[in-house]
Each structure stands twice: as C-alpha cells, then as structure tokens.
Amino acid sequence: MTAYPYRSILITGASSGIGAALALELAAPGVLIAFTGRNAERVSAVEDNLRAAGAETLARVIDVTDRPAMSELISDIESRRPLDLVVANAGISSGAGAGDDGITRDIFAVNVDGVLNTVLPAAAAMRTRKDGHISIVSSVAGFRGLPSAPAYSATKVAVKAWGEAIRPDLGKDGITLSMIFPGFVESRITDKNNFTMPFLMPAEKAAKIIASRLSRRKTTIAFPWQMAWMMRLLALLPGPLFDFVMSRAPRKN
C-alpha cells in the first residue's frame, strides 16, 4: 500500500467512479476521509470499504449545490481534524445544449456552484493555518467548449479558469491548488456513452495517477497523456476548422 501524506481529506461526489476509487486509494489507518454522495446506498457501501481499509470516515448524503450543508460539513470535519486535502470532484454530465434549459441549469449548479461551495469554505479554513491542498476536477473536455457536450464542457472550462486564476493568491497563504483533467474514465457517467471512448481507463488506475501526483503537489494533472494532448491540439484549431471537425463528433447522451 502506498503511503500518502494526507491525514484529513474531503472528497465530494465519492459514492462512485473516480471519487470512490480515489477515496479507497487514500484510505489507511490514521486517515480521516470525509466524503459526499447523493445516493445513500452507494455512500454506505463506499464507507464500508473505507473502514475495511482502516480509515476513519465521515460520510454525508449531500447535494453539493446545498451551500449551507457544505459549509456545515466542512466545519464538522475541521472540528475533528483540520483538512489537509480537499478534492472538489462532484459532477454530472450530459450532451445538453441550448435547447435543454432544465438539465443545462442542473449541470451548471452541480459542476460550478458545487465546486464553489466546496472550495471557498475549505480555503477559508486553510488560510487561517497557512497550509493545505485543494484540487478541482475539471476534464480534458474543459480545454475548449465542445458542441458535443455544450453545458458539460462549459462548466469544466469555467472551473479550470477559476482554479487557475485563484491559484497564485492561495499560494501566498501556503495553499496548493491542483487542477485535474481526466480523459474517459470508467464511471456511471461514461456508462451512458454509446460511442467509442479513446484510452478509456479504469477508475482505480485513474485514482492511483491522481493520488500519486497530488502527493507530489503537481498543479496540473492531465491523463491519459494521449487524450490530454489530443484535446489541447483540438483547442488550438481556428474556429471554422474546429466547428467542421466537431460537427462530425458523436454527441454525449
């Protein structure tokens, strides 16, 4: 088992996928892992796995769009053991575009407001002791707005820009901020996709990559490298050529 330097951790959206796998990767005796999810049954199953690995747990069924509930959760964790790692991971996905009002607003609420509701109170607590590590899960889809998933990619662009913008200021207070850009990872989100997903990766492998690079305080964690570079190059295309290429891309469900 790899030893990681964190002893008090919060991971949102950890009842499945990357979040659950990362929680289990970081679980160890002497480690407090707090996590959230929206499905009580899945939350309970993950908690059992973490406890079997020797970790202390604080599990909450919370929607990250609930700002007071998130602030209360972070206060509860801080009262037990000051946070040294926060992973703002909770997110939802869809191919929703301009005509999908309801789901578009839901995606923005979870993927953007949920990140703010996690990071802002955590950062405030960390500032008081001039130490801590915050990470925000974006996506390789966050390198440029994608017509195949307009709302989803826009939210990932937004949290990428915000995280990179606040990083220098947090750094002045001794807080590291890492941006995480996964490609396709096996999860409940990718299970819905009915198209070929290049370099699809098991959640457990993704968790090991993330945990290893977080422990080395990497500020940018993008993987797999082939997918990350493919999306970076796509983002550099001139508008008309980008539109032509993306008009032929499969749309996310």
Catalytic annotation on 152?
A: yes
Q: CA 162 to CA 241: how far, in whole Å? A: 27
How far does CA 100 lie from the centroid of its chain?
24
Tokens for 252? 């996310």
Out of 152, 181, 184, 223, which one is annotated catalytic? 152
Active-site residue numbers?
152
